[in-house]
Structure 1
Amino acid sequence: MADPGNPNLEVPAFFEAETERLRLRTAYLSDAKAYAPMLTSPEVMKWTSAGVPITDIDVAEQWIKARVLGRDTFKLSVELKGSLDNSGHPEIIGMMGSDHWPEIGYIFHPGHFNKGYATEALRALVPAAFERMPSAENGGYDFLQGGTVKGNAASGRVLEKAGFTECETTLQDFENSFFGRCDSVWYRIARPGKTLEELGVLPGTSSAKDGLLFARSASDKSKARAQRAEAEA
C-alpha cells in the first residue's frame, strides 16, 4: 500500500518484537491520534527538528507520514503491555526507529519519562535494525548513530545504556525554533562483528578522518531529508 499522493511512500514491511514490558511493531498513519500527546508536548518537541508543539491536525499527519512511510523506513510504535487506551487498544507510549539509515531516533510520551522504557525499547531495536539495514558491502552501513542536542543528557544516557558510544560533537549544525542554532552530540554502535575503531567512526583512531567524513555525510543527507519533509508539512 502506498500514499496516494506519492506512490513512492510505501507502507514498510511489518515487524514486531517484544520485551518484558513493551511491544514494538511497525508504525502506521492510523497511530496518529496516539502520537498526539507527544507531538503537542513542549518538553518532547523542543528536542526535535520542529522545536515547538505540533497542534494542527494536518501538520501532525504530514509530520507522521514523513516518518512512517517509505520502503526502507523502519519506524516502530512502542506499546505498553497490559495497557489500554480510550479506544480499547494497547497504549502507544513512543515512536522509535529510522527513516534514513544509519540514523535512529525516538520520542516518548511525557507521562512515561524516567521509567526505563526508552532504554528497554532501544535495546530491542538495535539488533532488529542491523538485520533490516543493508551492510556496508551491500550499499548500507555497519554502524547505527543517534544524535542529541548538546545538553540533552537524558537522551545521551539512554543511548549509552543501549550500548552506543559518544563519538563526537559537531558545532552549530542543529537548528530549531526553540534552541536556535546549537551543537549536536553523536553516539554510535557498530554492527555485531565490527568495531567503531575499524569502521573509522570513533575519533582518535587511525582511520577516523575518512570514517567520520563518511558518517557526517550520511548525517547531513538525513538532516536535509528531514528538513524537506517538515518544509512540505
Structure 2
Amino acid sequence: MNIALFGYGKMGKMIEQIAQDRGHTIAAKIDVDTKEIPYDNMDVAIDFSTPEAAFDNITGCFENGVPVICGTTGWLSNYEKAIDICNKNQGGFIYASNFSLGVNIFFELNAHLAKIMSGLEQYNVSMEEIHHTQKLDAPSGTAITLAEGIIANTNYKGWKLDQTDEGTIPITSKREGMVPGTHSISYDSAVDSIEIKHTAHNREGFALGAVIAAEWIQGKSGIFTMKDVLNLY
C-alpha cells in the first residue's frame, strides 16, 4: 500500500517506521513547504499535520479520490464541511482524536461507566488530562471525545476547561515534561470515588492504530470511526 504522510513531525516519522515494518511504502511526505502533491501515487493519506492545514489537506485528497485517516485535532469547526466534500466525492474518511487501540477501548469503557452512573446523582464526574509541554491545544481531543461519551449517556450538558459549573464536566489540563498522554475520569461522592484511567507509555500506539485504520479503509467509501475498524459494537 502506498501511504502519503501529511505532516512529518514526530508522529509522521513514527507512522513511517511502523508502516514500513508492516510492508507498506511511503509514497509522499507532505509538509508546509511542499509545492506539488502526488495524489496519483497514493492509496491512502494519513494526516497528522496542523489545525491550520488539516482541512485543505483532507479535502484535497477527497477531491482526488484518496481516502484519508486524520488524527489532527483543533480543526473540527470545519468537520461538517469536510464530511460534505467527502460524501460528494464518494470518498473514505476516518477521523479520530486518538488512534490508540487501547484508548478506543477506553472510550467504550468510559461510555459504559457513564450509563451505569447516570442515575446516581450523589456522584459528580470530573476529568484530568496530562500531556507533554509541546502540545498546544487544551483540553486534548481525546479528553473532548471522553466528555462527549459521558454527555451522550448522562444528564450533563457540556464540559468546561478548569471550571466547575452545575451540569457541566470540569476538565483539568496539565502540560508536563514529555508525557505522551494520560486521561482519567473520576466519579466522586461523599463516601467514595470511582476512577478509570488510561496511560500511554509512548506514541507508538497512536501510530500503529493509524496504520491499521489505513489498512482497513482500503476499498471502502463512507465516514467511519475506530469503532468500525475495531468492530466495537
TM-score tier by shorter-chain length is under 0.3
Which of structures 1 and 2 has the bigger CA Rg? 2
Larger relative contact order (C-alpha < 8 A, sep ≥ 6)?
2
TM-score by length of 1: 0.28
